[in-house]
Structure 1
Amino acid sequence: MLKTDLAARLRGAFDDDRDADTFLLRLERYGDDLSQSLHAVYGEATDELLERLLEVMLHAFHARPADLRRLDEARLLRPDWLQAPEMVGYVAYADRFAGTLKGVGERLDYLEGLGVGYLHLMPLLRPREGENDGGYAVADYRAVRPDLGTMDDLSALARGLRGRGISLVLDLVLNHVAREHEWAQKARAGDPKYRDYFHIFPNRAAPDAYEMTLPEVFPDFAPGNFTWDDAAGGWVWTTFNSYQWDLNWANPDVFLEFVDIILHLANRGVEVFRLDAIAFIWKRLGTTSQNQPEVHLLTRALRAAARIVAPAVAFKAEAIVAPADLIHYLGRGVHYGKVSEMAYHNSLMVQLWSSLASRNTRLFEEALRAFPPKPTSTTWGVYVRCHDDIGWAISDEDAARAGLSGPGHRHFLSDFYSGEFPGSFARGLVFQYNPETGDRRISGSAASLAGLEEALETGDPGRIDDAVRRLLLLHAVILGFGGVPLLYMGDELAMLNDYAFEDVPEHAPDNRWVHRPRMDWALAEAVRAEEEEGTPHTPVARVNTGLRHLLRVRRETPHLHASIESHVLLSPDGRVLLLRREHPLGTMVQAYNFSEDAVMLPSYVLRGVLGDHAQDRLSGSVFSLDRPTVRLDPYRALWLTTSEVPV
């Protein structure tokens, strides 16, 4: 891409030779990723697009603040910054965490004390008024919700976070905008340029043809994928809700707009972009219009543009899709390691809850074994819970290999976590029941789903102990798996379901708000005081203390660097999940007991990997593996590495 005449022309746009060298060297490095990807999507329109794109990139480069330029250089020297064991994420709604962006800035001591290095603030760019899909119906990408503050407040918060080594993560909704967005308003007014930003059809012929193969995301309150709009005079593609208009990424102007938006927000201090609904952005008749090849080409081009101007920036793909499709969001083949630096490991989260309910890890083993290896330069986002519902993304093939019926097991999990299954410890709510497919997703906080709500109501100390152990087991798995563990706000305090969501009109139709409570700062202070007094005794303090211990051990364990994959080690006991990590400093084996029973695990399976002695990094204990068995207490986790010290 970087021809001599182009380089000379671009150099003329700089007053400083060092800046010119920096930009041109990055353009030489990433230019082919940019131009080749765009040519594959836009063909002959690419040359003109690149000319306009370079203008946008040059403007953003010149506008980039000095401290962010320094961060760019630091990240280029440490490209594995997202993979380090000390990297831990925290996910929160700004208003529910601290009221405003300034309020978040006043709580940075709390985040730093947890060891957070990555703060994802849920949608905070200005959405449409009223119903807005939790903020994912964006009306203005260059403004903050007025109740949260201003863009200057966002920049100030980003600076404050950066000063403590915490990266700001923001949602970037790529598939759609709010009907009230300027682009959509101009399209409704008849502006041909902006009508081409969307998919608008004069009659039902094309929508009906597409609907033949399109799934429904929200069948309860947003059935179908198209909405008639009187002002636009046509059927508008609306995958998620009638007020969210899908964008036409086949139009290069849409690509250019989003490069400009990304670089603008990057210059405001955003370091990681969560690419929301990325799987949906390319439409193709006769398919589900998800995971199309153009999605990866466009993401690679977006990433290349960001790397040239702001290489401190990383992408996280929000693609909740099957493993065979998911790996493409980190890069396969020509895209290897060139798409997103991070993707959600949704399957891991699903299997955590599946194994807790069934007290069996065979399906967990099969699901992990089905995952192809990821690029070593990328990482997983791993989590116990998130802001969304739990959809039982369990493939029939994985289930069959584990001796299960896929539909039957999914039905069991929905029954179990909605509390309908006899003996269930869970308190969850059914979300989006689809009678045609039998799909029933589940809402609920981690603590309520893990049994703490039910146990506290009964007052049974044994049930409370089990619930606390379950929660710590779940966190141990995500902290030990390898990736960026994402702690959802309030989970560190074992916060329960918040049924008051029904009293808020805009929240009442969507029971996912049951696990989106307001941060309980009084509870946080009580836990801190209890821990300072000595041994914590309340369930909440026990969860908090246990989690903080897990976080400390993780930071001190180089074996957990995310460039290393966790591989299944076949377990002789179905209640126990065994994972193996081959690090240059030595092998690690993790053992997780997903049952309330003590398990006597045959030692041979560990001895064959670790030798005669192993140290558990979580407890500090040394195990003699020349004995017949190793005892695993209920819901116990072990992080074992080789030890030369005999018992």
Structure 2
Amino acid sequence: MLPPELATQLRLAFDDDRDAETFLLRLERYGPDLVESLQMVYGDRAAGLLDGLIEVMLHAFHNRPPDLRRLDEARLLRPDWLQTPDMVGYVAYTDRFAGTLQGVRGRLDYLKGLGVRYLHLMPLLKPREGENDGGYAVQDYRAVRPDLGSMDDLSALARDLHAEGMSLVLDLVLNHVAREHEWAQKARAGDPRYRAYFHVYPDRTQPDAYEATLPEVFPEFAPGNFTWDEALGGWVWTTFNTYQWDLNWANPEVFQEFVDIILYLANRGVDVFRLDAIAFLWKRLGTDCQNQPEVHWLTRALRAATRIVAPAVAFKAEAIVAPAQLIHYLGTRAHHGKVSDMAYHNSLMVQLWSSLASRDTTLFREALQAFSPKPTNTTWGMYVRCHDDIGWAISDEDAARAGLNGEAHRRFLSDFYSGVFPGTFARGLVFGFNAQTGDRRISGTAASLAGLEMALETGDEVGVSTAIARLRLLHAVILGFGGVPLLYMGDELALLNDYGFQNVPEHAADNRWVHRPQMDWALAAQAREDVNSPAGRMYAWLQKLIQARAATPHLHASVESRAVYSPDPRVLLLRRDHPLGSFVGVYNFSHEDVSFPTEVLREHLGDQAEDRLGGGRLTFARATLRLEPYRAMWLVQPA
């Protein structure tokens, strides 16, 4: 309960008794999480910080638009709004998708026709000019990149999306700001308050001590983790690039600044914040400065503060970390279900491509079985590809249980998808080669990595069909896994690598732009008319998958997908136990016909099942079931 004197004091800040009651009830619900989290991070400084936070939250609450207040109430009544089977995401760069925010408003019918209910527009807050890490070097969190539009345009887009039953997702870079950000400029001008917003050291003593255990994120073009700045007269922490300055989250003022920013953007209509580089927030000597306990307390505190003002808003953790660490971003033990509402299942993406290359799902099964169950009020974000490179996040332990050598398998995958392994079908580029560790990440669109580019170049019609079958299989897995499947722009049309990035000076040094092509609207129109073209086949399949998914309650994200034993290593079995009955996803990751023993399916489903993808009812009277190359099935127990 709130102290009576605080409740009385806060009521004076309201003209409307109903508003006062709403704010106080939420403060009573989420305030303990906020206070405990702040105390765990800031100790005695938490009390002073709380006073400032309440002022920030009151200001944002009073300024929350009526339509968003209504959305708050609707989502409080439907807390699983991110978990329902009809929730499908689409990820795009604004300029490459439709030019501007106004242009995106004109393309909502396309998204609605595909079945999208969640639109993630890649970094669009005002970045520094020139190199800006694809928009992740933010200069101003309260302004839109000028060529894309304005904050008013963003609010108008959010309103249009909400009217169509869609949500707006935006990136929020928490770990760092651009060197040109107002805070950094004030620090460089000698303001001690803002100097304390960053990690600044007068000489190399402390940086060298940290470097002893710090990895390099971009060893090729941004080696080291510290940069000398003449104006500062010191070494500033720069994990990602020299122009991206890491923030000092041990300073309570940084926390308050971000609560203010989040609530400002929430009041502009943002529904979900993708918390970029969340794993890097807290620095601790003698560690790799990732996944520190304070990160989870800080995220929990940010979430609690946001829920008090804007409970319609959700957090998505961009934590591309080892599986054992990933679950903590959704919450374990004291944090259970109180950290982020959603996290990227990056291991799922890695295992998709691993199984496609090896035609063996044993490692896939072992990796999934090692995952701890997530809180039932949270959800995974699953994807075949994203804007980033593919890093082969395969643990040596998982590999060993699958009978593999982890290092050798990671090397095989890099060879396979960079196109140098004999017999490969993939066309990808090596990104971020680390000469010390041998680590090679991969860039490339899903279609080019799945073999479509090579097949089209050689005029191999069978190869074209096979590549489309691979893409269909991969998307069937992510849409049948539960959670929020995230479709990366152009994958619905099987867009190929765009090598034109090399001709754009600000992109040429970063080959990840090869899989960030311009949207081909002519091809999109053709795909809806010509269902026999590669684009048409892919688009029609995704529409079918999305419709089947929306009609399958077993895919609600509160239910966990479990990898179960398959007697044939080419076939992955994923089981979900829903109150309506069991769901089993059956996925053949090979280019061969598989005669699969039906007794295995009978153990999970009984004597018969409905196939939500192929249609009709199956009986398991015969000893085997034929699975064509790259076949996907969603089997449920009949009603």
Q: TM-score range by the shorter chain?
A: over 0.9
Work out the CA distance in 2 between the residues paired with 1:25 and 1:643: 44
Query: For 1:261-280, what aligned pairs fall within 5 Å after superposition?
Result: 261-280=261-280
Alignment match, 1:497: 497
Q: Secondary structure at the match of 1:439?
A: coil
* Structure 1 gap ranges (5+): 531-535
Amino acid at match of 1:581: R
Alignment match, 2:628: 633
Q: Secondary structure at the match of 2:432?
A: strand
Q: Note if 1:564 corresponds to 2:520.
A: no
Work out the CA distance in 2 between the residues paired with 1:280 and 1:222: 16
Q: Secondary structure at the match of 2:119?
A: strand
How far 1:621 moved relative to its partner?
2.9
Query: For 1:359-508, what aligned pairs fall within 5 Å after superposition?
Result: 359-508=359-508
Work out the CA distance in 1 between the residues paired with 2:400 and 2:223: 31
Q: Secondary structure at the match of 2:440?
A: strand
How far 1:622 moved relative to its partner?
2.0
How far 1:568 moved relative to its partner?
1.1
Amino acid at match of 2:335: H
Alignment match, 1:547: 542
Contact 1:202 1:234 in 2 (8 A): yes
How far 1:614 moved relative to its partner?
1.3
Residue by residue, what CA displacement relative to the aligned partner does 1:265-306 show, whole Å, maximum 9, x if unpaired?
Answer: 000000100000000000000000000000000000000000
Work out the CA distance in 2 between the residues paired with 1:626 and 1:611: 11
Amino acid at match of 2:558: S
Residue by residue, what CA displacement relative to the aligned partner does 1:215-273 show, whole Å, maximum 9, x if unpaired?
Answer: 00000000000000001000000000000000000000000000000000000000100
* Structure 2 gap ranges (5+): none
Residue by residue, what CA displacement relative to the aligned partner does 1:36-68 show, whole Å, maximum 9, x if unpaired?
Answer: 100111111111110110000000000000000
Residue by residue, what CA displacement relative to the aligned partner does 1:332-351 show, whole Å, maximum 9, x if unpaired?
Answer: 01110000000000000000
Alignment match, 2:522: 522
Alignment match, 1:89: 89
Contact 1:330 1:342 in 2 (8 A): yes
Q: Secondary structure at the match of 2:300?
A: helix
Alignment match, 2:226: 226
Work out the CA distance in 1 between the residues paired with 2:604 and 2:381: 28
Contact 2:198 2:236 in 1 (8 A): yes
Alignment match, 2:125: 125
Residue by residue, what CA displacement relative to the aligned partner does 1:353-398 show, whole Å, maximum 9, x if unpaired?
Answer: 0000000000000000010000000000000000000000000000
How far 1:89 moved relative to its partner?
0.3
Work out the CA distance in 2 between the residues paired with 1:175 and 1:608: 48
Residue by residue, what CA displacement relative to the aligned partner does 1:296-324 show, whole Å, maximum 9, x if unpaired?
Answer: 00000000000000000000000000111
Work out the CA distance in 2 between the residues paired with 1:191 and 1:626: 78
Amino acid at match of 1:538: S
Contact 1:188 1:231 in 2 (8 A): yes
Which residue among 604, 610, 613 is the counterpart of 2:608? Answer: 613
Contact 2:137 2:244 in 1 (8 A): yes
Amino acid at match of 1:48: G
Alignment match, 1:589: 584
Query: For 1:207-218, what aligned pairs fall within 5 Å after superposition?
Result: 207-218=207-218
Contact 2:529 2:536 in 1 (8 A): no
Q: Note if 1:598 corresponds to 2:619.
A: no
How far 1:133 moved relative to its partner?
0.1
Alignment match, 1:179: 179
Work out the CA distance in 1 between the residues paired with 2:125 and 2:407: 39
Work out the CA distance in 1 between the residues paired with 2:190 and 2:532: 65
Amino acid at match of 2:539: N
Q: Secondary structure at the match of 2:272?
A: strand
Contact 2:275 2:317 in 1 (8 A): yes
How far 1:177 moved relative to its partner?
0.1
Query: For 1:289-328, what aligned pairs fall within 5 Å after superposition?
Result: 289-328=289-328
Alignment match, 2:151: 151
Alignment length (residue pairs): 639
Amino acid at match of 1:93: Y
Contact 2:492 2:542 in 1 (8 A): yes
Amino acid at match of 1:353: W
Contact 2:524 2:535 in 1 (8 A): no
Work out the CA distance in 2 between the residues paired with 1:612 and 1:325: 40
Contact 2:124 2:135 in 1 (8 A): yes
Work out the CA distance in 2 between the residues paired with 1:225 and 1:80: 40
Work out the CA distance in 1 between the residues paired with 2:208 and 2:164: 53
Q: Secondary structure at the match of 2:375?
A: coil
Query: Could you tell me the percent identity over the aligned residues?
Result: 75
Following TM superposition, the consecutive aligned residue runs of length 4 or more in structure 1 with deviations greater than 4 angstroms are none
Work out the CA distance in 2 between the residues paired with 1:24 and 1:243: 42
Q: Note if 1:357 corresponds to 2:352.
A: no
Alignment match, 1:99: 99
Q: Secondary structure at the match of 1:577?
A: strand
Alignment match, 2:161: 161
How far 1:569 moved relative to its partner?
1.3
RMSD value, Cα: 0.7
Contact 1:607 1:626 in 2 (8 A): no
How far 1:643 moved relative to its partner?
3.2
How far 1:526 moved relative to its partner?
1.1
Residue by residue, what CA displacement relative to the aligned partner does 1:598-641 show, whole Å, maximum 9, x if unpaired?
Answer: 00001111011111111111011322212100110000001011
